[in-house]
Every structure is written in structure tokens, then in C-alpha cells.
Amino acid sequence: MKLLGKKILLGVSGGIAAYKIPNLVRLLKKNGAEVQVLMTASAAEFASPLALATVSENKVLTEIFPDSAHEAKAEWTCHISLGEWADLFVIAPATANTIGKLASGLCDDMLSAAFLTLRPAKPRLIFPSMDGEMYFAKAVQRNLAQLKADGCEVIEPETGSLASGLTGMGRMPDPETIFDRIVKTYDSNEDAELCRAFDGKNVVVTAGATREKIDDVRFISNYSSGKMGFALAASAAKLGAKVTLITGKTALQTPQGVQRIDVESAREMLVAAEAFFTACDMFIAAAAVADYRPASPHEGKIKKSENVFEIQLVKNPDILQLFGTQKSSKQVAIGFALEAQNPMENAKEKLAKKNLDLIVLNSASEPGAGFEVDTNVVTLIGKDGTLEKLPLMSKLEVAKVILKKSSFFFGKDMLLS
Ligand SMILES: Cc1cc2nc3c(=O)[nH]c(=O)nc-3n(C[C@H](O)[C@H](O)[C@H](O)COP(=O)(O)O)c2cc1C
């Protein structure tokens, strides 16, 4: 489901390649996109509007003034609401005629009118498709240059046999290639939006296991490798954030552009973290902090003598809870939960109790998840009630999804450009 929830306006103009478009629509739908087909009158000569309506599960729109215009006011404003609704406009095939209209701002059908109403920051992909002579005609090249200057992405047609019987440049790429290009556009656009959201933000990440001293040579710890926290720090730094990584003992290398603070115990981690509580925009607690520590660690080495040796443990401070309960409404708090019993209920309880924006529920039992491995299987639970179960992914991929989801809590307006 590479395009889950994406909203695509698909403009189809009257080139011979329009017959391939139902297959493109099927691919988009299969991958979770909502598709609104806008067809020119000529396109209906090459692809069946009924077929496109069926595969898109949506009415195909052609005219600005449909027969029913006088009955329903909504139809009149349709091209405006389409531009507001969509997050991508694809035109495939784009004929010489339609390219000319779009380049000069003409809008006498639904495709060209909706094209003008798409929000400026949204990408426009244009797939010219025509005979080679037409494609290289000065007027067509001039119009394509104008569209590029207006911020559209014009994808060069392929070379091959053309409907005219000639061989040359002008073929529309296959639906699979167009689909890949659409996915790539969304990916790079989302990256750009994420970079804008994180640029200059102060992000603090805790990682790894703490060590709680029993004596000068022994400690209590856990199996956390720190990989998830390091992946989060690396991803946030790549997005332009100023990242401070407070980590327990680990052999991992410091990610590029990250300020690292090494600590040993939970209490040392708290002291280091507290120094950043007020200034940070986001606090991500990925460390596996020991819940308890020996009440009175011995100086030197405890001598072996008794058969049974008892250590009294006392509770460690809960760093995330301290941050969560004192943070301002502008600060974002993210925690992790590794729960053996009733994982969902316990994670949700933790989210509420610690006043978090997002909690990442780790699986303790699924293959490929948990400590030491490079992959993870997690479910993201947001304070807004959203729940997202991710498939097995590398920890770097998981980190990116966590940051993307968390950036939402910086304030919605940041991502709606
Ligand atoms: C059989 C046939 C195939 C055509 N193929 C193309 C084509 O691949 N590319 C193109 O730009 N025009 C092609 N045309 C011309 C367009 O259909 C024509 O310019 C039409 O006005 C385009 O209208 P539209 O841009 O509103 O869809 C073709 C015409 C015919 C009769």
C-alpha cells in the first residue's frame, strides 16, 4: 500500500496512449490511492469513460458545465474543490493541445480548470505523449518549457514505435513506470515536508541500556543495544534537527551531526536529560532505563562468601514521566513500551499517565523485533487516538515513520504548506 490515503487528480487527454490509463488507475487504487479521473472530450475516443469510472470507483469528470449543472450548485464549484482536495495532479497522456492550454492558462474543460486550482505547493507531473515531429515542434517545446518554469515536472517521453507507424521519441511510459514516478514524487515531497518540520528543532533522544552498580565491578543492566535510539538520532539529524543523544554504554558509532552525551546509570541519564528539558522541542525516550537500582552499591568488590546473596533494589526515577508531566503544550514527548501482557492496554495507559504525544509499542515476541537486531516491528499509538501497526522494517525506516508521525504534533500548520 505505497499510496495509502493519497489523493490524486489524473488528467487524461486525447492521445492514443490513453488506452493504457485504466491499468495505471488499477495500480494506483491497489496501492491505496483515491483517484479522480478528469478526461478531455477527445480522450473519450481512446479510453472508455465507463472503464475508468469503474476502476477508479469514481465518476469521471469532463465538462465544467455538466447537464446537471442547473440542478446542483456543488457541480459548479467542483473544479475549485478538486484543487483543494488533491495532493498530486498527474496528466497522462498529455497531448500537444492540452500542454498548450495548460501553458497559457486556458481552462475550458474540467481537466484544465482543475489544473489551475491545485494548491501551488502540490506537485504536478506531466507525461507528454505524441508523435516525435509534434513533440519537437517549436510551439510544443516552448509550452513545455513554460510549464517547467511554472514548477511542473515534465517527464520526457520514451523512444519506440509510435501509433503513427514511425519510430522515435514520443511514447508515454508504461503504467508501471508512471506509477513508480508517482511514488517517488510522494516520497521526495514528504521528505521535503519533513525537513521543513524538523529544520532547526532541538531534539533530545535517550538510547541504550543503563547500568546500575552493584559494586565497583558488577552492575545490573538489560539487553538493549541502543540501535533504535541511534537510528532516531541519525534520522532527526538528517532532517535538519539539532540532536542531542544521551546514551548508555554501547559500541555504536555516533551518527553524523549528533551531539552525544555518554552516561551510565538512570540517575546520570536524568541529570543529563534535565539540562535539556526546557529548551528541547521533542524528547524521545528510546533508552531502556533500569526500573530499579541497588539501594546501596558497595565500594570495591564484594567478596564471594555466602551461598545466597541478597541485593535490595530501589526504584529509579522515571525520566520520561518527569518530562511528560512538566512539558509545555508546544513540546513533544515520545516514549516506547515493551509489554509482555496486555500490550495495547498497558501502552495506552502509559501514554496517558506520562502525558505523551506518541508511544511506540515494541513487540517482545515477533521475529525480527526487539533488542540487538537491526529490524523492528512496532505499533504507533498517538494521543489523537490514531493507531498504526507497521510491518517488519529496518530500525532506520521505523525511525523515519516515528519522526514523520511525531512531526504532526509540532503543530498541524507546519505540514500543511
Ligand atoms: C488516432 C489519433 C491519435 C492521436 N494521438 C495523439 C497523441 O498521441 N498525442 C497528441 O498530442 N495528439 C494526438 N492526437 C490529436 C488529439 O486527439 C487532438 O489534438 C485533440 O484535439 C486533443 O484534445 P485534448 O488535448 O483536449 O485531449 C491524435 C488524434 C488521432 C485522431
Query: Could you give the percent of the chain with pLDDT greater than 90?
Result: 81
Ligand 1 pocket mutation, candidates 10, 12, 16, criterion most atoms within 8 A of CB: 16
Number of domains in the chain: 2
Query: Could you give the percent of the chain with pLDDT greater than 70?
Result: 94
What residue's CA is closest to ligand 1, atom 28?
Answer: 15
**DSSP type of residue 157:** P
Last residue of a domain, one of 194, 219, 246: 194
**Is 383 assigned a ligand-binding role in the annotation?**
no
Spacing, Cα 13 to ligand 1 middle (Å): 8
Are 273 and 150 found together in one domain?
A: no
Would you say 346 and 321 are in contact if contact means Cβ atoms under 8 Å apart? Answer: no
User: How many whole angstroms separate alpha carbon 346 and alpha carbon 340?
Assistant: 9
Q: Please check whether residue 399 lies inside any domain of the structure.
A: yes
Give me the mean pLDDT over the 154-167 stretch: 89
- Closest atom, ligand 1, to C-alpha of 42: 27
User: How many whole angstroms separate alpha carbon 336 and alpha carbon 361?
Assistant: 6
What is the Cα 350 distance to its own chain's centre?
A: 25
Q: What is the pLDDT of residue 203?
A: 98
Spacing, Cα 15 to ligand 1 middle (Å): 4
Give me the mean pLDDT over the 83-88 stretch: 95
Go through the chain and tell me how many residues it has: 417
Q: How buried is residue 395: exposed, middle or buried, by Cβ count under 10 Å (0-12/13-18/19+)?
A: buried
Are 77 and 190 found together in one domain?
A: yes
How many C-beta atoms lie closer than 10 Å to residue 367's C-beta?
10
- Closest atom, ligand 1, to C-alpha of 101: 25
At residue 295, φ and ψ (nearest 5 deg) are -65, -40
Burial 354-364 (b: 16+ CB within 10 A, else e): bebbbbbbbbe
Q: Please check whether residue 43 lies inside any domain of the structure.
A: yes
Average confidence score pLDDT of the chain? 92
Q: What is the pLDDT of residue 413?
A: 37
Nearest-Å Rg of the Cα atoms of the chain is 28
Spacing, Cα 107 to ligand 1 middle (Å): 18
Would you say 126 and 147 are in contact if contact means Cβ atoms under 8 Å apart? Answer: yes
Are 149 and 30 found together in one domain?
A: yes
Q: Please check whether residue 268 lies inside any domain of the structure.
A: yes
Catalytic residues: 222
User: How many whole angstroms separate alpha carbon 234 and alpha carbon 245?
Assistant: 9
Whether residue 1 has pLDDT greater than 90: no
Spacing, Cα 45 to ligand 1 middle (Å): 9
Are 253 and 377 found together in one domain?
A: yes
Q: What is the pLDDT of residue 73?
A: 58
User: How many whole angstroms separate alpha carbon 159 and alpha carbon 132?
Assistant: 9
**Beta-ladder partners of 90:** 10, 125
Pocket of ligand 1 (CB under 6 A): 13-17, 40, 42-43, 95-98, 129-130, 134, 163
Q: What is the pLDDT of residue 72?
A: 57
Domain that holds residue 166: 7-194
Residue of 197, 235, 204, 194 lying closest to 334 (CA atoms): 204
**Is 320 assigned a ligand-binding role in the annotation?**
yes
Whether residue 412 has pLDDT greater than 60: no
What residue's CA is closest to ligand 1, atom 3?
Answer: 16
Whether residue 393 has pLDDT greater than 50: yes
**Dihedral sign for Cα atoms in the order 83, 151, 2, 357:** negative
Whether residue 183 has pLDDT greater than 70: yes
What residue's CA is closest to ligand 1, atom 7?
Answer: 15
Spacing, Cα 17 to ligand 1 middle (Å): 10
Whether residue 416 has pLDDT greater than 80: no
Are 179 and 211 found together in one domain?
A: no
Whether residue 74 has pLDDT greater than 60: no
Are 156 and 227 found together in one domain?
A: no
| 2 half-sphere exposure, CB direction, 13 A CA radius | 11
Are 326 and 299 found together in one domain?
A: yes
Q: What is the pLDDT of residues 2-16, one digit of tens each?
A: 898 899 999 999 999
User: How many whole angstroms separate alpha carbon 265 and alpha carbon 377?
Assistant: 27
Would you say 234 and 396 are in contact if contact means Cβ atoms under 8 Å apart? Answer: yes
Q: Please check whether residue 391 lies inside any domain of the structure.
A: yes
Are 353 and 270 found together in one domain?
A: yes
- Range with lowest mean pLDDT among 123-137, 252-266, 369-383: 369-383
**Is 350 assigned a ligand-binding role in the annotation?**
yes
pLDDT-derived band at 132 (thresholds 50, 70, 90) equals very high
Spacing, Cα 320 to ligand 1 middle (Å): 63
Query: What are the respective helix, strand and coil percentages of the chain, to the nearest 5?
Result: 40, 25, 40
Q: Which residue has the higher pLDDT, 180 or 78?
A: 180
- Range with lowest mean pLDDT among 28-42, 272-286, 327-341, 402-416: 402-416
pLDDT-derived band at 417 (thresholds 50, 70, 90) equals very low
CATH number where 46 lies? 3.40.50.1950
Ligand 1 pocket mutation, candidates 62, 91, 97, criterion most atoms within 8 A of CB: 97
**Is 150 assigned a ligand-binding role in the annotation?**
no
Whether residue 370 has pLDDT greater than 70: no
Q: Please check whether residue 2 lies inside any domain of the structure.
A: no
Whether residue 69 has pLDDT greater than 80: no
**Is 334 assigned a ligand-binding role in the annotation?**
no
Q: Which residue has the higher pLDDT, 211 or 338?
A: 211
Q: Which residue has the higher pLDDT, 412 or 312?
A: 312
Last residue of a domain, one of 127, 159, 194: 194
Whether residue 71 has pLDDT greater than 80: no
Q: Where are the beta strands (DSSP E) in 272-401?
A: 282-285, 292-294, 313-315, 332-338, 358-362, 375-376, 378-382, 387-389, 393-394
At residue 286, the 3 state secondary structure works out as: coil
CATH number where 386 lies? 3.40.50.10300
**Is 311 assigned a ligand-binding role in the annotation?**
no
What residue's CA is closest to ligand 1, atom 16?
Answer: 14
Whether residue 245 has pLDDT greater than 90: yes
